[in-house]
């Protein structure tokens, strides 16, 4: 492995003396992504990938020049987390200069195993978001002289659509031998953050206060089970043939719906089934999240803007056995239209506006066809709710139609399902699951049932077919099982004395009893909320996440044996854009109380 030209060049005196970049507050959606990555250490979440194969010898100098040109023109590639101000939530700063991060790998045997290992290693390697640039480039030489190009990017600053725009810009720059063509792209990330920050939240708050999932909603299409004793993420796939995909598209259109709405309806049926629904049963509230592009906003040029606009918003609906599938499709289609007005709103904001609303635990996405289609092509039929068209310039001669193959990111949700038409017209379904919640077998069963309904409904469900009748193909099929969240919830020792007072997490030393701070909590007179957790980084981070999301002060403390873990947690919080919280360690309850009192 060796660094390629353009990786970490020395800063010139002019660059070193450049004015400090302006800091803009992170958008609520970015805060959600940062919190999700922060609270799941060691999981490599929100790292998405695009890759393609380049035949023949690669001119590495020209390759690096082309990416430097793109970096100079695209603000997002020069952006990193800003130095946090005390008590402030994360912000981002666009720097005047950054270099592309390019690494060349020359394995002993450049076979499929080497490529798979590189994909996994790059995906699991965490980003240093304090350093400008959310994109890493890895090159893998092959025995026949070709090169595999792998882009790994972080979704706090880039989504799959934005990454595709960058790849097309790179191809144009490479064809021009890296010579700049025009200046910086505008609008850019700064314009988007300013646009989001200027929104009037009152209409969104009013809508989501009534449209958020109600308490008690079924959020996973599975029954409870014990721990899986597995780790990491898994992927499983099902495919509808071109003929099956064509029938699904025609059936959905006949009932006035898009293919994406048909996928939503099938998932709602599975959630209803897991919630105990049956013929003659009462209504079952179900909830999931639906992916939206985030580019239907009234910001000129948003369609071509590389940034973190992609989003997933909650969808809530009540399902009854006697409702027809056509009515369910119509209701879900209406929800999709409503979401189009709020693509910029984050799930964290929604939970703040609707206290008690459950967290949705699955995400559904209908992606662009494989290869992305040619620039300027019409949207793929059924790919989602209609939004404003975003015309693009025609492709230049000699450039590829698509921007590469996608490897979707893992996130903190237990299961995410994406659908994508392949080059032959078939429909590929991919489920990415958290193995601590779903075993590979349960995830495969869940996706198989999803595909089965998508195959059978077009031939068996007419305008008058009810939900109960639509589930007939699953009679006798097992219900998948899901394990509880393995990270234990924090235990509140004492509530805060006032709203916004913050939270202090007390970590037990190794081997200490769970109630080792109970007596201290009765005597400590301070204002912050006191909580305690299991002595793990994941548990402590999950305990502090609500206060971090609200911008409240946090601190970590405990007896000396817990100091090492507390410092590890504090460093991670600082690495994700928040102020590094104070760590207070004392050998006695009295000394710990004095230390907390000194926090002010």
* Tokens 């064809």 sit on residue: 175
Structural contact between residues 38 and 545, judged by C-beta atoms closer than 8 angstroms:
yes
In the chain, list all ranges with CATH 3.40.50.1820.
491-597
- Rounded Cα distance, 78 and 255, in Å: 47
- Rounded Cα distance, 366 and 297, in Å: 19
Three-state secondary-structure class, residue 248: helix
pLDDT digits (tens, 9 = 90+) for 62-99: 999 999 999 999 999 999 999 988 778 999 999 999 99
Q: Which two tokens stand for residue 382?
A: 């059924």
pLDDT digits (tens, 9 = 90+) for 326-381: 999 999 999 999 999 999 999 999 999 999 999 999 999 998 876 544 332 323 22
- Rounded Cα distance, 548 and 47, in Å: 22
Q: Which two tokens stand for residue 178?
A: 């890296």
Smallest CA-to-CA distance from 315 within 282, 350, 349 is with 350
Angle between helix axes 440-460 and 259-274 (nearest 10 degrees) is 120
- Rounded Cα distance, 466 and 322, in Å: 5
> How do 101-105 and 2-3 pair as beta strands?
antiparallel
Structural contact between residues 26 and 91, judged by C-beta atoms closer than 8 angstroms:
yes
Lowest average pLDDT, out of 19-23, 65-69, 262-266, goes to 19-23
2 pLDDT tier (thresholds 50, 70, 90) = very low
Q: Which fold has domain 491-597?
A: Rossmann fold (3.40.50)
- Rounded Cα distance, 39 and 188, in Å: 29
Q: How far does Cα 534 stand from its chain's mean position?
A: 26
pLDDT at residue 518 is higher than 80: yes
- Rounded Cα distance, 471 and 270, in Å: 8
196 pLDDT tier (thresholds 50, 70, 90) = very high
pLDDT of residue 589: 87
DSSP codes joined into one string, 526-560: -SSEEEE--SSHHHHHHHHHHHHHHT--EEEEESG
Which is more confidently placed, 585 or 380? 585
- Rounded Cα distance, 189 and 307, in Å: 6
CATH superfamily of 212-300+308-373+411-461: Nonribosomal peptide synthetase, condensation domain (3.30.559.30)
Three-state secondary-structure class, residue 183: coil
pLDDT at residue 443 is higher than 80: yes
441 pLDDT tier (thresholds 50, 70, 90) = very high
Q: In whole numbers, what is the pLDDT of the chain averaged over residues?
A: 88
Q: Please give the average per-residue pLDDT across 29-39, as a whole number.
A: 95
pLDDT of residue 164: 93
DSSP H helical segments within 552-598, as ranges?
563-575, 589-597
- Rounded Cα distance, 433 and 416, in Å: 7
596 pLDDT tier (thresholds 50, 70, 90) = confident
pLDDT of residue 545: 96
- Rounded Cα distance, 34 and 238, in Å: 31
- Rounded Cα distance, 227 and 224, in Å: 10
Q: Which two tokens stand for residue 273?
A: 């089934």
In the chain, list all ranges with CATH 3.30.559.30.
212-300+308-373+411-461
Q: Please give the average per-residue pLDDT across 150-168, as a whole number.
A: 95
CATH superfamily of 2-197: Chloramphenicol acetyltransferase-like domain (3.30.559.10)
* Tokens 């899986």 sit on residue: 228
Query: Which residues sit opposite 148 in a β-bridge?
Result: 53, 140
Structural contact between residues 478 and 457, judged by C-beta atoms closer than 8 angstroms:
no
pLDDT of residue 20: 67
Model pTM above 0.85 = yes
Q: How far does Cα 325 stand from its chain's mean position?
A: 30
Lateral strand order in the sheet of 405-407: 2-3, 101-105, 135-141, 147-154, 47-54, 405-407
pLDDT digits (tens, 9 = 90+) for 273-301: 999 875 556 899 999 999 999 999 999 99
Structural contact between residues 286 and 498, judged by C-beta atoms closer than 8 angstroms:
no
pLDDT of residue 65: 95
Lateral strand order in the sheet of 311-319: 233-240, 427-434, 415-421, 362-366, 284-292, 311-319
């Amino acid at each position: 492995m060796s660094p390629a030209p353009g990786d970490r060049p020395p800063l010139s005196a002019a660059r070193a003396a450049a004015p400090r970049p302006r800091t803009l507050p992170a958008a609520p959606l970015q805060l959600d992504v940062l919190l999700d990555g922060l609270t799941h250490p060691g999981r490599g979440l929100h790292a998405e990938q695009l890759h393609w194969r380049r035949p023949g010898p690669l001119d590495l100098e020209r390759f690096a020049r082309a990416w430097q040109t793109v970096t100079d023109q695209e603000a997002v590639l020069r952006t990193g987390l800003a130095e946090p101000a005390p008590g402030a939530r994360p912000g981002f700063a666009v720097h005047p200069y950054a270099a592309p991060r390019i690494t060349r790998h020359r394995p002993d045997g450049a076979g499929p195993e080497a490529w798979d290992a590189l994909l996994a290693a790059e995906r699991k390697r965490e980003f240093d978001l304090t350093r400008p640039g959310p994109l890493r480039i890895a090159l893998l030489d092959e025995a026949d002289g070709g090169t595999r190009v792998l882009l790994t990017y972080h979704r706090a600053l880039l989504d799959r659509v934005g990454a595709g725009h960058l790849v097309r810009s790179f191809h144009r720059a490479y064809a021009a031998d890296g010579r700049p063509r025009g200046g910086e792209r505008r609008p850019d990330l700064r314009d988007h953050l300013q646009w989001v920050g200027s929104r009037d939240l009152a209409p969104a708050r009013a809508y989501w206060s009534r449209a958020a999932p109600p308490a008690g909603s079924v959020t996973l299409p599975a029954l409870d089970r014990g721990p899986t004793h597995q780790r990491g993420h898994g992927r499983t796939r099902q495919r509808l043939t071109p003929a099956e995909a064509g029938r699904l598209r025609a059936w959905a259109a006949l009932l006035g719906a898009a293919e994406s709405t048909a996928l939503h309806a099938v998932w709602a049926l599975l959630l209803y089934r897991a919630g105990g629904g049956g013929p003659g049963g009462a209504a079952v509230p179900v909830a999931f999240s639906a992916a939206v592009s985030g580019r239907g906003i009234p910001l000129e040029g948003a369609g071509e803007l590389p940034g973190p606009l992609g989003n997933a918003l909650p969808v809530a609906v009540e399902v009854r056995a006697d409702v027809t599938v056509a009515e369910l499709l119509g209701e879900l289609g209406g929800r999709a239209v409503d979401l189009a007005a709020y693509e910029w709103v984050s799930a964290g904001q929604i939970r703040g506006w609707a206290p008690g609303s459950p967290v949705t635990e699955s995400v559904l996405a209908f992606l662009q066809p494989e290869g992305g289609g040619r620039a300027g092509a019409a949207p793929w039929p059924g790919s989602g709710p209609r939004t404003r068209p975003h015309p693009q310039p025609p492709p230049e001669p000699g450039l590829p139609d698509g921007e590469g193959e996608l490897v979707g990111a893992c996130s903190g949700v237990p299961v995410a399902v994406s659908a994508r038409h392949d080059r032959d017209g078939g429909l590929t379904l991919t489920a990415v699951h958290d193995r601590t919640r779903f075993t590979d077998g349960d995830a495969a069963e869940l996706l198989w049932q999803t595909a089965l309904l998508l195959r059978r409904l077009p031939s068996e469900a007419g305008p008058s077919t009810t939900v109960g009748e639509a589930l007939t193909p699953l009679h006798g099929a097992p219900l998948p099982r899901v394990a509880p969240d393995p990270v234990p919830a924090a235990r509140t020792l004492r509530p805060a004395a006032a709203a916004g007072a913050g939270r202090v997490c007390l970590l037990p030393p190794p081997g200490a009893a769970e109630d080792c701070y109970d007596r201290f909590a009765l005597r400590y007179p301070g204002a912050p909320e006191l909580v305690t957790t299991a002595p793990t980084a994941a548990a402590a981070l999950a305990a502090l996440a609500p206060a971090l999301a609200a911008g409240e002060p946090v601190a970590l403390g405990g007896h000396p044996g817990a100091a090492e873990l507390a410092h590890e947690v504090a460093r991670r919080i600082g690495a994700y854009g928040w102020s590094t919280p104070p760590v207070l360690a004392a050998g006695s309850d009295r000394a710990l109380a004095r230390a907390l009192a000194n926090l002010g």
